């Protein structure tokens, strides 16, 4: 065989459209942001290379770092609420929906999924109205069951506002884990289920011992999607509480902190350099989280071949 293996151009040609679009829309802006975070303005308002000085300000200056850690802690709590409420409830709903004895399951599935396709603006507005102490139906409904004393202006109280917003977000997005798990549950072959039944594993014990291990990879994917989504969240907080993320920054997450810094707010002028610094920090946090999942968790998940 004297003839050498010729270059396989078609691979490059077929990859080119995706690579070009992805590079133009994702990679170039990403590196642009990383680059921007290394610059700042000097006394004469000209842009100079600042090295890591912006990061030193962000983590070293008590005001900047106070705001940053507050936003990060709030963001972490936002994520924890999603992991503790949204995903277990999603799995539970999927398990119920996949039960063959359930009637109207298509209706329930659609009804639970619909909030996912609503705009944040609508969700934020509707929930603000529902929970409003003045016009809302929440005080009235609690009153009807004699629990009026439990009502508080949740969105206006520092101790409840973030949890309330996280639960609103859960309400909106619970359809996504439900659908993914539902699909995973449907893909479990009947033979496996039948074999379990032959061995006397039925009901809840069947769910825990047979189905749950089989859908673990899907749960992993959902967790990482939740993580990335939550740490990039911005819309709901902005719509419901504004860019100052009141009350007293109790609902400030990384997204709103970035927005205020980058674009400015009211008399505060935008600062693209510090904004890019925060964006870079967010990118780093998400990168670490995703890497942790990919290398520490996903490689240990056992997969089953049918």
> Per the structure block, which two tokens stand in for 283?
């990118």
Give CA–CA dist 247/155, Å, rounded: 8
Return the number of the residue (159 or 194) whose C-beta is nearest another protein. 159
Q: Which range, of 30-38, 73-81, 129-137, 286-294, touches another protein by CB under 8 A?
A: 129-137
Assign residue 301 a region (left: φ > 0; alpha: ψ between -120 and 50; beta: otherwise). Answer: beta
Q: Is 148 in the site for another protein (CB under 8 A)?
A: no
For the bound state, the minimum distance from the C-beta of residue 156 to another protein, rounded and expressed in Å, comes to: 3
Which one of residues 65, 99, 205, 268 is an interface residue with another protein (CB under 8 A)?
Answer: 268
Q: Residues in contact with another protein, total (CB under 8 A)?
A: 33
Which one of residues 77, 108, 113, 154 is an interface residue with another protein (CB under 8 A)?
Answer: 154
For the bound state, the minimum distance from the C-beta of residue 261 to another protein, rounded and expressed in Å, comes to: 9
Which one of residues 42, 267, 296, 300 is an interface residue with another protein (CB under 8 A)?
Answer: 267
Pairing label, strands 39-41, 47-49: antiparallel
Q: Three-state SS across 78-137?
A: HHHHHHHHHHHHHHHHHHHHCCCCCCCHHHHHHHHHHHHHCCHHHHHHHHHHHHCCCCCC
Which one of residues 113, 249, 283, 293 is an interface residue with another protein (CB under 8 A)?
Answer: 249
DSSP secondary structure of 140-189? HHHHHTT-GGG---GGG-TTTHHHHHHHHHHHHHTHHHHHHHHHHHHTS-
Q: Is 270 in the site for another protein (CB under 8 A)?
A: yes
Q: Is 166 in the site for another protein (CB under 8 A)?
A: no
Q: Is 63 in the site for another protein (CB under 8 A)?
A: yes
Dihedral in degrees, nearest 10, Cα atoms 100, 303, 205, 104: -20
Which one of residues 3, 149, 266, 305 is an interface residue with another protein (CB under 8 A)?
Answer: 266
Q: Is 167 in the site for another protein (CB under 8 A)?
A: no
**Facing residues of 47 across strands?**
41
Q: Which range, of 99-107, 131-139, 227-235, 290-298, touches another protein by CB under 8 A?
A: 131-139
Find the binding residues for another protein in span 30-59 (CB under 8 A): 45
Q: Is 289 in the site for another protein (CB under 8 A)?
A: no
∠ CA 190-192-195, rounded to 5°:
105
Question: H or E stretch including 63?
Answer: helix 62-81
Q: Is 205 in the site for another protein (CB under 8 A)?
A: no
Binding site for another protein (CB under 8 A): 45, 63-64, 128, 131-135, 152-158, 241-244, 246-249, 263-271
């Amino acid at each position: 065989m004297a003839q050498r293996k010729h270059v396989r151009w078609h691979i490059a040609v077929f990859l080119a459209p995706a690579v070009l679009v992805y590079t133009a829309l994702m990679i170039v802006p990403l590196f642009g942001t990383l680059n921007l975070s290394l610059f700042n303005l000097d006394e004469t308002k000209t842009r100079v290379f600042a090295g890591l000085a912006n990061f030193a300000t962000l983590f070293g200056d008590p005001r900047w770092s106070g705001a940053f850690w507050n936003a990060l802690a709030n963001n972490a709590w936002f994520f924890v609420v999603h992991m503790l409420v949204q995903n277990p409830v999603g799995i539970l709903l999927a398990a119920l929906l996949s039960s063959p004895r359930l009637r109207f399951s298509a209706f329930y599935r659609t009804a639970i999924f619909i909030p996912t396709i609503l705009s944040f603006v609508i969700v934020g507005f509707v929930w603000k109205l529902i929970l409003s102490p003045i016009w809302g139906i929440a005080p009235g409904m609690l009153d009807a069951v004699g629990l009026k004393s439990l009502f508080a202006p949740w969105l206006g109280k520092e101790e409840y506002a973030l949890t309330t917003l996280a639960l609103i977000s859960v309400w909106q997005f619970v359809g996504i884990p439900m659908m993914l798990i539902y699909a995973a549950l449907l893909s479990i072959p009947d033979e496996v289920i039948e074999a379990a039944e032959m061995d006397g594993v039925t009901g809840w014990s069947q769910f825990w011992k047979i189905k749950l291990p089989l859908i673990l990879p899907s749960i992993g994917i959902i967790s990482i999607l939740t993580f990335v989504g939550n740490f990039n969240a911005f819309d709901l907080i902005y719509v419901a509480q504004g860019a100052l993320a009141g009350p007293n920054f109790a609902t400030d997450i990384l997204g709103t902190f970035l927005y205020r810094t980058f674009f400015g707010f009211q008399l505060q002028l935008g600062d693209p350099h510090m904004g890019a610094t925060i964006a870079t920090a967010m990118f780093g946090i998400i990168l670490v989280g995703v890497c942790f999942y990919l290398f520490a968790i996903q490689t240990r998940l056992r997969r089953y071949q049918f």
